[in-house]
A = this chain, B = another copy of it.
Amino acid sequence: MSNIRVVAELAGVSVATVSRTLKQPESVSPKTRHRVLDAIQQAGYQPNQLAARLRSGKTHNLVVLVPTIANVFFARVISGMQQVAHEKGFTLLLSNTQADEQTECHYARMVESAAADGVIQLRAFNPFKREHVNEHQLHPMVNACEVLDEVACPTVMLDNRAAAAAMTRHLLALGHNRIALVKGPARSPLTRDRIAGYRDALNEVGINFDEQLLVAGDFSLKSGYEAAAHLLTLAERPTAIFCENDEMAMGAMQCLKKMGLRIPEDMSVAGFDDINFAEYSDPPLTTIAQPAEEFGRTAVSLLIDVLQGRVTKAAKVILPFELVIRNSTGPLHKQP
């Protein structure tokens, strides 16, 4: 691979001129510019990014910390990130962390070792060591989707509490008063907010919260299936199941159908996310649509703003949700 010196020699100019031709062409006379461009062609010259980056101290790399890329929702988020990153000349370093804090810290450290400029964390965990926190300066980080409580950085989030309340109200309006909630991992603020929203809606109509109707899941199809199986063993069964994501809702539906229940006649089921499959499930799933790609796009442009000093406060961006009513939820049918 040829370097800048070869090109300079070929064009009969200095290396500085070659560099300028590429970076600020207007500062070079048309004649020289032409000669240099020709020489670049001839040499098949590609500027060495490594060297340029070392010099400038900018890598144009962004680390993305995602718990599981195999999750359809996150895949869409990343898709959105990619769009903006590509547009703005950044590349995404993907890290599928399996929610492992050590791995997350490892990748976050790439910022300190100049392998990346910033990180986007899709989980509620701060991968930067406390000691390095500077009160007056933001970490080069943006937190999206599952956000931290103590925001030390800009965040992009949904009003999960309001969204869960909206779905719960929808089910209440259909006449359900025993509504189960299949939640996600217990420690997640996201799970906690959705539970809060669910309780808000119950409170509004004076229904007591029943601990039994709160079942733990892990956002997988399987855990939704198991949660539904468990709920069916209850003495006082629910008449509707609200799952904190679509995968669990689809798993739950599978279980219910296997047990011979009809959806929504015998049991209503609702999800969260509105993944592709939701519309094509049987019956099509009532859910909360989240602007997944928009999460990614916003997170990346926010991070770039932080890196370029255009954002200096830990701002919070709240993205809108939409209640999408399909056929998996329906009016309460009195049990025979």
B-binding residues in A (CB < 8 A): 1, 44, 46-51, 53-54, 57, 59, 61, 64, 68-72, 75-76, 78-79, 82-83, 86, 91-96, 103, 107, 109-110, 112-115, 132, 220-221, 225, 247, 250-251, 253-254, 257, 276-277, 279-282
Contacts and interface: CB of A to CB of B under 8 A. Distances in A.
What are the nearest 5 A-B pairs in CB distance?
A49-B115, A82-B96, A94-B94, A46-B112, A50-B114
A222 to B, nearest CB: 8
Given A50-B53, A91-B107, 16 more contacts: A46-B112, A48-B113, A50-B59, A50-B115, A51-B54, A54-B54, A70-B75, A70-B76, A70-B79, A70-B276, A78-B94, A83-B96, A221-B279, A221-B280, A250-B277, A282-B282
A280 B48 contact: no
Given A221-B277, A221-B280, A280-B254, A69 B82 contact: yes
Contact of A70 (B72, B86, B114): B72
B96 A94 contact: no
A2 B276 CA distance: 48
Contacts of A54: 48, 50-51, 54
A59 B324 CA distance: 46
Number of copies: 2
Contacts of A282: 253-254, 257, 281-282
A190 B54 CA distance: 42
A71 to B, nearest CB: 8
A15 B162 CA distance: 57
A122 to B, nearest CB: 14
A107 B82 CA distance: 12
A57 B51 CA distance: 10
A44 B68 CA distance: 31
Contacts of A93: 61, 91-94
A115 B250 CA distance: 42
A251 B280 CA distance: 6
A280 B250 contact: yes
Given A94-B82, A95-B82, A277-B250, A113 B47 contact: yes
